[in-house]
A and B are shown apart, each in its own frame.
Chain A
Amino acid sequence: GNSVTQMEGPVTLSEEAFLTINCTYTATGYPSLFWYVQYPGEGLQLLLKATKADDKGSNKGFEATYRKETTSFHLEKGSVQVSDSAVYFCALRRYHEGRRALTFGSGTRLQVQP
């Protein structure tokens, strides 16, 4: 079946540090890949997405590239801010008869210190 593996957290960084959160996946076919962010007490917000190999998703300074050869979709940001503190989820959706179920990783908590 489909699965997503994320690096364990929490990840603690100082403001303006470089961020990488690793994500690898297992799926048949060609899934779409997503990063979602969850702030305390809130639901999930779509951060970025990629639908095919070598696509780069980007939003708010965050980037991730769909690497089919390594089945990875690592999240990066060049300079984190305190406001980026949240839980980040990597997810995939494998197209099958129009179904939209997402398979999520376990989430990685990011703490950014001033």
Chain B
Amino acid sequence: KAGVTQTPRYLIKTRGQQVTLSCSPISGHRSVSWYQQTPGQGLQFLFEYFSETQRNKGNFPGRFSGRQFSNSRSEMNVSTLELGDSALYLCASSPMDGPSSYEQYFGPGTRLTVT
């Protein structure tokens, strides 16, 4: 079974621009979560989606948003980019039921650099 895929893997943007990152979950997984990883703040939860609805949100400004499609694929968007948004953005998928429903499986991440 293919793992979580994220595109693009690397991205360079300038301040003020916006960016969209994409995540395809493991086949059959319906929950998708996003995390931001930075050297200073570590790994921080952004939001979780399932059934095309945001179910949980971390402590990030409204510039960070996301959505989920009917095939469980998800996108996250960051508007008005700031230098501090430079980070590795990780997507994780989970099954909704079964013995592994509490586990999250991570993709390789998208490395965003804001200049």
Contacts and interface: CB of A to CB of B under 8 A. Distances in A.
Given A89-B43, A106-B42, A100 B106 contact: no
A46 B48 contact: no
A104 B90 CA distance: 13
Interface in A24-53: 32, 34, 36, 42-46, 49, 51
A93 B104 CA distance: 10
B43 A101 contact: no
Nearest to B99: A51
Contacts of B92: 44, 102
Contacts of B58: 101
Given A42-B108, A43-B90, A43-B108, A101 B45 contact: yes
A98 B56 CA distance: 10
Interface of A: 32, 34, 36, 42-46, 49, 51, 89, 93, 95, 98-107
Q: Nearest 3 pairs between A and B by C-beta?
A: A104-B43, A44-B106, A43-B106
